[in-house]
Each structure stands twice: as structure tokens, then as C-alpha cells.
């Protein structure tokens, strides 16, 4: 793998992550992530053919019965929202299209 991580890479990934970065952060992260990825390169030397990946340290997550159970009342769920209409039971957000 290549260890270069350009400002363009940072911008592309930031778009995927929905993260606004300023110019200084883009420069800094391009530089630092190149360093981190160069350091991480050492795992490429480990032979792993046929090794199963581990996604979880414990046993597989237990499934529960698919039954309705108590959950937070709607007014409590809405109480922390930056903008909501509690009477209508809605979170409010800016318009989707410009």
C-alpha cells in the first residue's frame, strides 16, 4: 500500500463521514494520517492466509425474542433535541433541499 495521504484523500473521506474540516485541519490530518498509516503498514508483513477475522472478542451477540417491550416515552425522547415539535411528536431539521 502507498503511505501517502493527500489533502484530497482527507476531503474525500471527510465527505463520506459528513465532517466539515477547515483548511488547517485538512493539511494537518493529511500529514498525520500518512504517518499513522506508515506505522500501521507493519501488519502487512504478518502472514494471514486462511486466518479467520475476529470481529468480536466474546461469544456471538445473543438475540432476544422479537416482542414489543417498554421504551422511552415520546416526550422524553424529544426533550433533548435542539429543535422539536413535542405536540406533533416530531424532531425538526433544516430543509433537505437548498
Partner 1 sequence: MDIPIDALGIRDGVASGRLSATDVCRAALDRIAALDSSLNAFRTVAADRALARAAEIDTRRENRNLALLGVPVALKDNLCTRGITTTASSRILDGYVPPYNATVVDRLEAAGAIIIGKTNCDEFAMGSSTENSAYGPTRNPWASDRTPGGSSGGSAAAVAARMVPLALGSDTGGSIRQPAALCGVVGFKPSYGRVSRYGLLAFASSLDQIGPLATSVRDAAVITSVIAGHDTCDSTSANVPVPAFQAALSGDGDLHGVRIGVPRHLFREGVDAEVMAAFDAAIEVTRERGAEIVDVVLEHSPEAIPVYYIIATAEASANLARYDGVRYGYRAEASTLGDMYDRTRGKGFGREVKRRIILGTYVLSVGYYDAYYRKAQQVRTLIRHDYDRAFGSVDVIAMPTSPTAAFSLGERTEDPVQMYLSDVFTVGANLAGLPAISVPCGLTRTRLPIGLQFTGRAMEDATVLRVADGYERATTWSRERPPN
Chain residues in the site for partner 1 (CB under 8 A)? 1, 9-10, 13-14, 16-22, 25, 29, 32-33, 35-36, 39-44, 46, 48, 51-59, 61-64, 72, 76-77, 79-83, 91, 93-98
Of 80 and 87, the one with the shorter C-beta distance to partner 1 is 80
Of 43 and 87, the one with the shorter C-beta distance to partner 1 is 43
Distances in whole angstroms, Cα of residue 46 to Cα of each of 2, 41, 51, 62, 85: 17, 10, 11, 32, 55
Query: What is the C-alpha to C-alpha distance for residues 98 and 96, in angstroms, rounded to an integer?
Result: 7
Identify whether the C-beta of residue 1 lies closer than 8 Å to the C-beta of residue 33.
no
For the bound state, the minimum distance from the C-beta of residue 55 to partner 1, rounded and expressed in Å, comes to 6
Amino acid at each position: 500500500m502507498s503511505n501517502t495521504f493527500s489533502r484530497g484523500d482527507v476531503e474525500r473521506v471527510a465527505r463520506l463521514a459528513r465532517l466539515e474540516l477547515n483548511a488547517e485541519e485538512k493539511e494537518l490530518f493529511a500529514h498525520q494520517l500518512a504517518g499513522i498509516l506508515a506505522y500501521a503498514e507493519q501488519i502487512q508483513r504478518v502472514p494471514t492466509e486462511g486466518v479467520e477475522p475476529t470481529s468480536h472478542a466474546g461469544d456471538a451477540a445473543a438475540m432476544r425474542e422479537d416482542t414489543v417491550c417498554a421504551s422511552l416515552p415520546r416526550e422524553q425522547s424529544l426533550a433533548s433535541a435542539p429543535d422539536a415539535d413535542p405536540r406533533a411528536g416530531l424532531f425538526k431539521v433544516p430543509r433537505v433541499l437548498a
